[in-house]
Amino acid sequence: MKKFRQNRTIKRNVLIVDDELINREILGNILSQEYTVSYADNAKEALEKLAGQDSSYSLVLLDLLMPVMDGFQFLQKRSEDEALKRIPVIVMTSEKESEVRSLKLGAEDFIKKPFDMPEVVLARCERIIELFEDQSLIKQTERDSVTGLYTNEYFFEYIRQIELWDSETPRDALVIDIEHFHLVNEFCGRPFGDLLLSKIAEALDRELPQMNAIACRANADIFYIYAAHQVDYESVRQTIQNVLANFKMNNIRVRCGLWENVDKNVEIEAWFDRAKIACNQIRGDYTHTLARYDKEIHARHVFEETLIRDLPEAIANKDLVVYYQPKYNIEGDTPRLTSAEALIRWNHPKLGFVNPTDFVPLFESNGLIQKVDNFVWSEAAAQIRKWKELFGITVPVSVNVSRIDILDPSLESKLDNILKENGLSPSEYMLEITESAYSENARRLIEVVENLRKKGFRIEMDDFGSGYSSLNMITSLPIDILKIDMSFIRNMEKDERNMKLVELVIDIAKFLNVPTVAEGVETDSQLKTLKQMGCGIIQGYYFSKPVPPGEFSKVIKKELEHRRNAP
């Protein structure tokens, strides 16, 4: 903006209003060096010029004592007109008593008569124009165009000003999320959605004064409120819900996250990040409408952020370790080791052992699971090669392919390169795909699986039966092995329905002419029951828990001894 002001080829328009010709000429000579100058003999003529279609004045220099309409009348009319109030006025007077009256009517500055110092006149004009242009820019950018609430940047800046002058008052950070608001735009159109947002903002604006609060539209359908500490915010949430109801949007829910008595040693933006974390805790939970950020959520948040931050180092230092759980073929009289599943473990240098249930879902939600998968793929392939060199046999290993991997256009080339680097064939390397990948992008999954099978990879469908799309998926997705979800196995002897479901899945596999793998087998009774049903392969604690490579080598040795001693 400063460079723009210093551009001498752009001259602003200045209007001099004075009934004395000599005064107009003196001021005109001073100002014409920097500005394009226009003149008016009285305030009435000045108003006509300012109301013209081509009017674009940056400053009015106003005499007070004039015929037809004087300067005080001009200032009075200006105070009643929003367009005129955007043009600053410098009053030209030599009377001290007129200054107070002019200030009350909205004048910005004064120039003393007579005009004996041209540089002072120019400096005052430049300063006032600059102040008003800055003010105009602020007014144009501080408010969201749809709702009229503050934009993010100004919201946080005003909070800084509030805290600068009143840091002792306990205050709350509130995040309001209007769930599924995108459906309003999709079904009713964006103009309708914008109208609804503006009405929500109007309702919020009426609530703010009594809470000593300010608000902004953070993005899309999310609002932030910074308020003096309140006992309850249900009235705020209900106010918005009522607006939605008035627009017949009863299927749209208002969800809130609150950090009470924010810690002012933490960065301001983090106050609302944490309130939003609380808000996200009740996504999909229709029994709660407000969640508070507390010590438990904070501890979980810090824990998860630590895992996210430390993942690259864990991969580089191999704090992530691949364990292997054996799978046994139970079709004959003696169970035989047939393959293994690669399972990730994390031995964190500070946190100790981190359960996979703590980090796998986290990384699945933010896309980092792809880094974990790539690590497991490479480690598992290298381990297959080592066992092959050490024992002279191949123990095929199945690795997980997450839904985000399915969307990776370089998936096939990554797998090809891993096998090439380790001298393996696709038949020695199995891929496990979960049902969720199908439910989110069925067409892409089918395309990828078909291409991988053509290359010789065997595809295992993991956790079959745990989701709603299982039957639909099994009719369209080509697979080589069906894995029964372990929750059915654990409960099949306790619940007749689970027993029937396991039997049904095995029958489906027989119909498709593919083997079944039962996960989570822990007892001899479970093994015998599954064998009677026709299940061909089992894995679980009955034979071995997941173990590191060194321990699994003992499993292979034991298997080879059994084979040598078999009749």
Q: Which CATH class is domain 364-565?
A: alpha beta
Residue range 434-447, pLDDT digits in tens = 766 666 677 888 88
Mean pLDDT of the chain: 88
Q: How large is the angle between the packed helices 71-79 and 43-50, nearest 10 degrees?
A: 30
Indicate the DSSP class of residue 151.
P
Evaluate if residue 68 carries a pLDDT over 60: yes
Evaluate if residue 403 carries a pLDDT over 80: yes
User: Left, alpha or beta for 463 (phi > 0: left; psi -120 to 50: alpha)?
Assistant: left
Q: How large is the angle between the packed helices 369-391 and 295-317, nearest 10 degrees?
A: 40
Residue range 326-372, pLDDT digits in tens = 999 999 889 999 999 999 999 999 999 999 999 998 998 888 999 99
Mean pLDDT of 414-426: 95
Given this model, what pLDDT does residue 1 score?
43
Residue range 167-193, pLDDT digits in tens = 899 999 999 999 888 888 888 888 999
* Bridge partner residues of 227 (DSSP): 172, 213
Prior bond to 114 cis, omega within 30?
yes
User: Left, alpha or beta for 241 (phi > 0: left; psi -120 to 50: alpha)?
Assistant: alpha
Given this model, what pLDDT does residue 438 score?
62
Mean pLDDT of 58-75: 91
Q: What is the 3-state secondary structure (H, E, C) of 267-317?
A: CHHHHHHHHHHHHHHCCCCCCCCEEECCHHHHHHHHHHHHHHHHHHHHHHH
Mean pLDDT of 147-158: 91
Share of the chain above pLDDT 70, in %: 94
150 neighbors 216 (Cβ within 8 angstroms)? yes
Q: Which amino acid is at 167?
A: S
Residue range 483-523, pLDDT digits in tens = 988 888 988 888 888 899 889 889 988 988 999 999 999 99
pTM to 2 decimals? Answer: 0.68
Going through 11-122 in order, the beta strands assigned E by DSSP cover 13-17, 36-40, 57-63, 89-93, 109-112
* Bridge partner residues of 174 (DSSP): 225, 258
Given this model, what pLDDT does residue 466 score?
60
Mean pLDDT of 41-50: 91
Residue range 97-147, pLDDT digits in tens = 788 888 888 888 888 887 778 888 888 889 888 888 777 776 677 888 899
Evaluate if residue 262 carries a pLDDT over 80: yes
Identify the CA nearest to 279 among candidates 303, 253, 305.
Answer: 253
**Per-residue confidence at 467, pLDDT binned at 50, 70, 90?**
low
Indicate the DSSP class of residue 472.
H
Residue range 541-551, pLDDT digits in tens = 999 999 999 99
The span from the CA of 121 to the CA of 125, in Å, is 6
Given this model, what pLDDT does residue 384 score?
97
How is the chain split into domains, by residue range?
Answer: 2-141, 152-300, 364-565
Evaluate if residue 213 carries a pLDDT over 60: yes
Given this model, what pLDDT does residue 465 score?
62
Mean pLDDT of 398-413: 91
Using a 10 angstrom Cβ sphere, with 0-12 exposed, 13-18 middle and 19 or more buried, the burial of residue 8 is: exposed
111 neighbors 61 (Cβ within 8 angstroms)? yes
Evaluate if residue 229 carries a pLDDT over 70: yes
The span from the CA of 270 to the CA of 430, in Å, is 44
Indicate the DSSP class of residue 427.
G
Q: Which CATH class is domain 2-141?
A: alpha beta
The span from the CA of 447 to the CA of 453, in Å, is 10
Mean pLDDT of 293-307: 90
Output Rg (C-alpha) for the chain, integer angstroms.
Answer: 37
**Per-residue confidence at 4, pLDDT binned at 50, 70, 90?**
very low
> At which residue do the structure tokens 């934009």 appear?
151
Evaluate if residue 9 carries a pLDDT over 70: no
* Bridge partner residues of 69 (DSSP): none
| Count of other CB atoms within 10 angstroms of residue 361 | 10
In this structure, is the dihedral angle defined by the CA atoms of residues 262, 263, 264 and 270, taken in order, positive or negative?
Answer: negative
Please tell me the least confidently modeled range out of 6-10, 46-50, 492-496: 6-10
292 neighbors 232 (Cβ within 8 angstroms)? no
198 or 284, greater pLDDT: 198
**CATH architecture of the domain with residue range 152-300:** 2-Layer Sandwich (3.30)
